[in-house]
Chain A
Amino acid sequence: MFDNILVSAAVEKAEDISIGDAAVTAVFGYAVVFAGLVILMIVLYCTGAYFKSKDAKAKAAADAEAAKKQAAAPVVAETKPELPLAPGSAGHVKLFDVPDKEAAMIMAIVAEKMQKPLNELHFISIKEVK
């Protein structure tokens, strides 16, 4: 679409190019790359905002549904007993969509990379980034 504009705005389709024309082309080219990616960035922000608001609405609807079900259901006391912690443990690590085996591997890799013993690190949660 903009090819013709670019050609006329920069230089003619000549084999040789003067240093002045080259400077103008370089600055203009850099500006075009920036402009193209800035517009793309704006488009991505807009689609991102749309999906975020859609997710928020879906979450709110799900929360409301859950609250309604909870209100209707008889209250049952939490009976799940807390498991005793291992000696020297800093507590439980919350896992979000991460199997135990992978969590153990991730913790081992982090300890290795940081060159610190695993028992000196406190992992709060591990979440899979989708």
Chain B
Amino acid sequence: MDILETLKTLWNDSGFQSFFVNGGWKNLIMIIISCVLLYLGIKKKFEPLLLVGIAFGCLLVNLSYFGSGSTDALYHLDLWDNFLNPEHEDYHSYGAIMAHGGLLDILYIGVKAGIYPSLIFMGVGAMTDFGPLISNPKSLLLGAAAQMGVFLAFFGAVCLGFTGNEAASIGIIGGADGPTAIFLTTRLAPHLLGPIAIAAYSYMALIPMIQPPLMKLLTTKKEREVKMEQTRVVSKTEKIIFPIIVAMFVILLLPSTAPLVGCLMLGNLWRECGVTERLSDTVQNALMNIVTVFLGISVGATTAAERFLSLETIKIIVLGLTAFCFSTVGGLLVGKIMYKLSGGKINPLIGSAGVSAVPMAARVSQMEGQKANPSNFLLMHAMGPNVAGVIGSAIAAGFLLAVFK
């Protein structure tokens, strides 16, 4: 046995040597980025349930994928390029992915087919109490206003040279709704999924830092101090009818929202109808956790260095932040209008909760309201716009999908 030759073969087969050839150094950078994301998820608790999975997926893909032709890779960009290429024999062939793909390729099929985001929405629906929205339907206006960032970022992205499909996917970051962002991006611009998902979840985790300065800037202390009256009690029947009405209305208006809105409302109906407690419990806990595992790791897999490290990613990160800020501003401005029109009965701080990010954005409204007036309890009032934002971002996504698909 030629020990020297064996060692040479082992070295050539190892991933270490790949760092020094064919742009392998980019993988090294991505490995460092994944470690930073792991630190943010574990130590700083930035959306840890998803960010830890995404970061580890990022780590795995960059340890195993070194350019086209990596046979042992967990995720193959070239396979997915073929999947999206109408002229290739493997166009839209999940069979080819199953036959030649790695573990992460197979898990990614759930993202590509829009299964994971829809199932996450089912869990969100089962966990959400729409009572505050039903008792105060005006909250829907705040949920609509807070989609401003989606469309401003879309416009900004076009100005920066992105195509319509890419701009729509970037804009939806402003909806502050991870599953919606993933759902839309996989349909319109799958090559941008990695940076868009990471931007969306990172900014959602940073809401307690992004929103308060804007809230203080756009509202006076007098406005922030406003104590809101308790809303009416919503009957059980209303809560049961609500998901059925919303599903019928929104899906008829924009059929492309059917997977998201349908699952959201089905989950909520299971929660409220009172005869499917086992299903509601499963969707809220077991199913939600399982899908979160698959979603996180497979979204992380799309961050292969070859595609992720580019000027486009930096533009997406900046546009995503802009989208978040303008969505907050949109909600606050309509909140101020409602404050004036109601004769000072509505606290404009609840407007910022119109960005989805349930329940983080509502908690921020509560905290800022209580800072201005310690006897202020805005949480339930802010939950109305907060859940309205989920429906609003699904409608925004449905519109963009209808226009650009």
* Contact surface of A with B, Cβ cutoff 8 Å: 1-3, 6-7, 10-11, 13-17, 19, 21-23, 25-27, 29-30, 32-34, 36-41, 43-45, 47-48, 51-52, 55, 113-115, 129-130
Contacts and interface: CB of A to CB of B under 8 A. Distances in A.
Interface string B368-405: 00100011000010000000100110011001101111
Interface string B159-185: 100011101000000000000000000
Q: Is the interface of B mostly helix, strand, loop or mixed?
A: helix
B164 A16 contact: yes
B159 A130 contact: no
Given A29-B396, A40-B391, A51 B158 contact: no
A129 B380 CA distance: 10
Given A51-B238, A114-B375, A3 B151 contact: no
A19 B252 contact: no
B403 A10 contact: yes
Given A1-B253, A130-B233, A6 B167 contact: no
15 contacts: A2-B254, A6-B254, A7-B402, A22-B154, A22-B158, A27-B151, A29-B150, A33-B147, A34-B141, A37-B391, A40-B137, A40-B250, A44-B133, A48-B238, A129-B233
Given A26-B154, A37-B140, A38-B140, A14 B399 contact: no
Interface in B236-289: 236-238, 241-242, 245-246, 249-250, 252-256
Given A29-B400, A30-B150, A38-B144, 16 more contacts: A2-B254, A13-B404, A15-B165, A16-B164, A19-B155, A22-B159, A25-B403, A29-B151, A32-B395, A32-B399, A33-B392, A36-B254, A39-B249, A43-B249, A48-B238, A115-B374
Contact of A2 (B232, B245, B253, B374): B253
Given A11-B403, A52-B232, A36 B250 contact: yes
A15 B158 CA distance: 11
A39 B399 CA distance: 16
A66 B401 CA distance: 57
Interface string B127-162: 000010111011011011101101110110011000
B234 interface: yes
B86 to A, nearest CB: 13
